[in-house]
Structure 1
Amino acid sequence: MTEGREPLWRGARGDVLLAAGTGLFVVLTTVLGAGDPIAFRPVPVAGWLLIVAGCGALAFRRRFPVTVGVITLVASMAYYPLINPDGALLVTLIIALYSLASAGRTVAAAVIGGSAIAGSAFGEYGTDESPLGDAGMFLLVSWLVAAVAVGAVMHTSRRSREEALRRRATEERLRIARELHDVLGHNISLINVQAGAALHALSRDGGNGGDGGSESPAAEALAAIKETSREALRELRGTLGVLRQVDEQAPTAPVPGLRRLPELAERSRAAGLAVDVATEGDPVELSPTLDLAAFRIVQEALTNVTRHAGAGRVAVRVGYGRDDVTVDVSDDGRGAGSRAGAGTGSGIDGMRARAEALGGTLEAADRPEGGFRVTARLPYGGAA
């Protein structure tokens, strides 16, 4: 199957094919003379070396465009006054100038092309010989200028297409974000309203002598559902606000960060988990990206503990070091060996991906004294 493979005429293979095809064309136009029958013209060794250098350089035109431009310029400027017979080696310089301009190196292309024109003009009008003539000189200048101009137009057109694609991708992401907000926001709002109504009804029944008083486990669970859904809705709106365009309203809620760890711990306590939060070192003002990543890692670790660990107590430690911030979540529950998929699930992978995206590391393993531990180290400069 060839699906997904790069076409032969693109990339490095395409450049090699272009160099080979150009070399064949230059050789044929050099060794084949006019007349009937066609005569083969001998080419000196120096001529062959210049042909190989000029044509072979085109195989690297995308990786080293300026170097290729200089090599083709030197090869052409040396070949035509020194080597007989003439050929089409100048086409290598034209291709190199186009490649430079299409890669956005318009100034370099103009300098190399101007040097070629100046050298040709000196050979044409500064010496007794006139190998090109006025018509030949005009054609030479036209070809070199056209190569730079066409390359520059192609570069501008390509940049415009890429910008349009980026703009459409951004608009599509915003559309998806709004759709998610509408769907999830509606359902989470319903959960919040229904939990509040159920909590009110339970409290009323308890006040009428029923057995479901406000301190019952059911009431505590409903209160936790109500608070969690309200927080989820606020974060959803805040995340959508980050994705909004500049001319839209600012986020309706602040982006979560380590300063909100007490709220996160309180929600986990409402779910029946004893959470201890401590800070070590002098707190450092973190960038929003780094602050959010640290908070999300702690949030995901606590979620994993609640769902899978069977733990009764969790210790959350935030350490501010000289070069990085460390977040550590340790529980006294079951280790990875007794958890289905623990250590390899999407939760651990997601936390590790967050840490590595900022140049940090994440370790997740059993504790020697029992339980599980997640430790992430995030460098302060990782979000720059």
Structure 2
Amino acid sequence: MGPPFGPPRWVRHWETGPAGRRTGIAGLPWASTLVVVVIVLVGSRLAERMQPDRVEIDALARTLMLAGSLVLLWRHRFPVPVVCAATATVLLYLGAGYPYGPVLLTVALACFAAVVHGHRVAAWSALGALWAGHLLIAHWLYRWLPPAGDGPASWGEGLGPAAWMTAVLAASELLRAKRQQWAHVRAERAAAQERRAEEERLRMARELHDVLAHSISVINVQASMGLALLDSDPEQARTALTTIKSASKEALGEVRQVLDSLRTPGDAPRAPAPGLDRLPELVEQAAAAGLTVTTESTGKVRRLPPGADLAAFRIVQEALTNVVRHSGSRTADVTVAHTAEGLRLRIDDAGPATGGDAGGSGNGLAGMRERAAALGGTIEAGPRPDGGFRVEAELPLTGAPRPQQGRERPEQENERREHENERREQEREAHERREEEGTP
């Protein structure tokens, strides 16, 4: 049996077109062609005994039968010349007065190959020429062609060849339609596999971004502090270097875990995925970077599914990383609310922004939105009316993903980013004016 939704083995050779077929003599369909040769030669001898009024098979008849059969070796590479050559040899064979028989099988196979490979006009034309030639030989040219003394055939005898040709074309068109259906199924399967691979690549990219952005931000802050205090306060510089070592070790461990899942797909991870139970570690890391984080939990705490737990952890991690990198505030508030519908997260900082990318560079926010959308949730991120920046996430614990809620159309995304940039610019200018005036 063939693969699911695919062609059976006995017709798989029809699937390969001229571009994908091997070159040289090894790529030719020798087995099927030799079977046709045997059927035509042996079957014609039997037909000769049943049609004593026809011309006996001689060397010329065998040559025509061999030529019409052996040309089928190239029926997949050159279907149009082959169907023309097969039709011509059969017309010469019939015109020479030899007995009717399996010689017509060569035209049937040639037309079959031509239709399957998309040359329908050539196949229909070849069968039309064969039928017209047969009528001419049987009703007009018989006077000048062997056997001697042969009379005109009855018009009813022409119905047999017409029915035979119709059956050949119907079978060819049926296989052609099946071939197109198989190709469509294969294309859909390949597209689905490519989509799954793309989703996996995006998931890995989000995971690496969240891990590296957070850890490198902590390392950058601590490295700056260590350099500044290296001479004046060596002990504090040593503390900064210790924090750098701890953050880099943790980042290497998480990156190794992500890469291990790429090398051995399907295997269980060596370490559990992070979740909200590691929120105190985030607070400690933020404190090491000079950020004071207050946390608050409301509602009945319950065990979260692994996907929702990881998404919640990464969202909080990315939001705190953005506070460290892009906010002038040294404080942040994290609220985790457990509701009947799911989980609600809110991360606030008082601002002001310290650069044009306040709140995030875009990749982090996009990653948070994709994580929420994968669970059917939403993310709202933007400047607060009283200053600062806020990230709010809602993660339902049940229900199908709603990609439309987590993704924006390009024009909406551009408009939102322009609005955020304008707000950040206004905040930065206001902050600079207050510093120049000496007001808090």
Q: TM-score of the superposition, structure 1-length normalised?
A: 0.49
Whose radius of gyration is greater, 1 or 2?
2
Q: TM-score of the superposition, structure 2-length normalised?
A: 0.43
